[in-house]
Copies of this chain bind each other. A is one copy, B any other.
Amino acid sequence: MPAIPAPVAGRGAHARERVMAAALDQLADEGSAGFTMEAIARRAGASKATLYRRWPSASALLVDAMATTFRPLRTPSDEDIREEMVALLTLASQMLASGRFPRLMAAIVDLAERDAALAALHAGITAQQRRPMLELVRRAQAHGEIAPDADPEVIVDMLTAPFFYRRLVAHRPIPTTLARSLVDQVLPRR
């Protein structure tokens, strides 16, 4: 059922944001199979021509939307390293528990296999999201709580990968205790 394209309200920046929000909603709801310029235009109440004037493809639109909506995690405070680690992992766990984010992640995982620009952008965003945890791991190494010859990137993987893996691959529950269990394996017990 083709909806009648409504005039894009506000034009300019506001219209652009509305189309980008519609693209993320469409991808989260329908997955990569339903991610077409036509479907995004319909959801945004815009014409396909309007979308094509700004973005050459649905994938380019997605790259733009992701880059725009991305907010890096805050830098951890100088407080207790263990509690800062648990807090960061609890945040990741909460994001993966909500409806939209994991479905968006799942669709991007598939699309990125055939789209080098999207894969590169996703890699960059992931690298930025890892940074606060990387800093905590390095601090723990400086304090002698993690072996100095351990690769901090590998430690960050061991702490964060289980959340994505459980939610997207293994389809296993993520108990609220998981964050603390993981940190207990990496830092010396108290």
What per-residue 1/0 map shows which CB atoms of A2-36 lie under 8 Å from chain B? 00000000000000000000000000001111010
Q: Tell me whether A65 is interfacial, beta carbon within 8 Å.
A: no
| Contact B120–A169 (Cβ < 8 Å) | no
Give bound CA distance, A35 to B31, whole Å.
12
Give bound CA distance, A123 to B167, whole Å.
10
A170 and chain B: residue at smallest CB distance: B126
What per-residue 1/0 map shows which CB atoms of A30-48 lie under 8 Å from chain B? 1111010000000000000
Q: Which residues of chain B come closer than 8 Å to A181, judged between CB atoms? A: 150-151, 154
Q: Tell me whether A185 is interfacial, beta carbon within 8 Å.
A: yes
Q: Tell me whether A119 is interfacial, beta carbon within 8 Å.
A: yes
Q: Which residues of chain B come closer than 8 Å to A106, judged between CB atoms? A: 109-110, 112-113
Interface of A is mostly: helix
Q: Tell me whether A74 is interfacial, beta carbon within 8 Å.
A: no
Q: Which residues of chain B come closer than 8 Å to A82, judged between CB atoms? A: none
Q: Which residues of chain B come closer than 8 Å to A126, judged between CB atoms? A: 169-171
A105 and chain B: residue at smallest CB distance: B169
| Contact A113–B103 (Cβ < 8 Å) | yes
Give bound CA distance, A161 to B122, whole Å.
18
Q: Which residues of chain B come closer than 8 Å to A140, judged between CB atoms? A: none
Would you list the 10 A-B pairs with minimal beta carbon distance, nearest first?
A161-B165, A161-B161, A123-B171, A157-B162, A110-B110, A158-B158, A126-B170, A33-B33, A161-B162, A106-B113
